[in-house]
Amino acid sequence: MSCIFCKIAKGEITSQKVYEDEHVLAFHDIAPQAPIHILIIPKKHYATILELEEKDKDLIGHIFMVANKIARDMQFHEQGFRVVVNCNRNGGQTVFHLHFHLFAGRLMHWPPG
């Protein structure tokens, strides 16, 4: 498999880790779009959010709890942050391994794009 995020999750490619457990990995994006830009990925490969099934709902809840923990640990929870998931090309997805963008460190605008 040539998925870059699978390689990062397996430790084959180094990353600047923020959080890791048996199910997910969070690391700094190499091309940040905000002062704080962290990617949270499931270690299991899902190309898009459309591959999720009912049995995966605990994983998705866990990912949001990880985002919560990161925000608190890095102390940007009170200022605010944004969690974004892109799906397929027109949705802005460029890496086809499900991932959640955690943005913080500046005022977020609406609409985003």
Q: Which residues are catalytic?
A: 99
CA-CA distance, 4 to 113, in Å (whole number)? Answer: 26
Long-range interactions of 26-31: CB distance < 8 A, separation 24+: 26/66, 26/70, 26/102, 29/101
CA-CA distance, 61 to 67, in Å (whole number)? Answer: 10
105 three-class SS: coil
CA-CA distance, 101 to 87, in Å (whole number)? Answer: 12
